[in-house]
Amino acid sequence: MSAMDGLVLLLVVAGAVGYAIALGAARHRGRWPALRTLCWYAGLVCAGAGMVSPVAAAAHTSFTAHMAGHLLLGMLAPLLLVLAAPITVVLRALPVDAARALSRVLRTWFVRTLTRPIVAATLNAGGLWALYATPVYHLMHHSMLLHVVVHAHMFVAGCLFTASLVSPDPMPHRASFWMRSSVLIVYIAAHSILAKWLYAHPPAGVGLGDGQAGAQLMYYGGDVVDVALIVLLFAGWYAAARPRAPRVTVPIVTATDG
């Protein structure tokens, strides 16, 4: 096991333990949905598998395996981790003063900018185009630093993009439904076009058959996650837009009435 593999496993374990500690610290605030907890740990498994697994090892020589890692690390893991509402978990666990300080950080210009759908989508889709349409993909297999930077960007950009669209965490600066849906449509188009382009133009050093198999995996595997995002986006819109049942006020009858 390399030092990088050890670091990835350490981060995964830290994420697992940290979430469990936060849940324990916030247990007096009521029950936490088990599905969100399951999403968190499933997301950590996907992120770890994208970096440290037989698939990750094969990705050094197989473009198809690399693309499987991309789907795990850059799309599926971010979706699951965001659905686990980690910010809410932390806010529930922290003392009031610390929670308020974290809320102020989340409202800063820097965080607000990164979580705007247009910015997050540009970082995500733009990073993929820069990786596969330039020599970066070839170079990262010869530079450990570049390899780490590429995968870190893939993961963080995926998390920011997913959070900007469907995060269950409180977001006082959340974009409108129409803005988020428009950005998602453009992102899906950019991702699909890139997959089709890779089918015809595999990266340098990648065989045609391997390149086409990887491009197909990117196209169809990405569609699965994209459909999940569409469903979640519209489900959130429906929940927020549906009319609330009017409250019925029952008059209090006293002994003197009538």
Q: DSSP labels for 177-219? A: HHHHHHHHHHHHHHHHHHHHHHHHSPPTT--HHHHHHHHHHHH
The number of helix segments (H) and strand segments (E) in the chain equals 13, 0
| Residue 48 · residue 194 · CB < 8 Å | no
| Residue 77 · residue 50 · CB < 8 Å | yes
SS3 call for 107: coil
Residue 44 belongs to a domain: yes
pTM of the model: 0.90
- pLDDT-derived band at 258, boundaries 50, 70, 90: very low
Residue 123 belongs to a domain: yes
What range defines the domain where residue 180 resides? 3-166+175-240
Share of the chain above pLDDT 90, in %: 74
pLDDT at 36: 96
Whole-angstrom Cα distance, residue 48 to residue 42? 10
Whole-angstrom Cα distance, residue 221 to residue 216? 8
Residue 250 belongs to a domain: no
Whole-angstrom Cα distance, residue 244 to residue 226? 30
- pLDDT-derived band at 196, boundaries 50, 70, 90: very high
Q: What is the pLDDT of residues 79-88, one digit of tens each?
A: 999 999 999 9
Number of domains in the chain: 1
Residue 249 belongs to a domain: no
Mean pLDDT value across the chain: 90
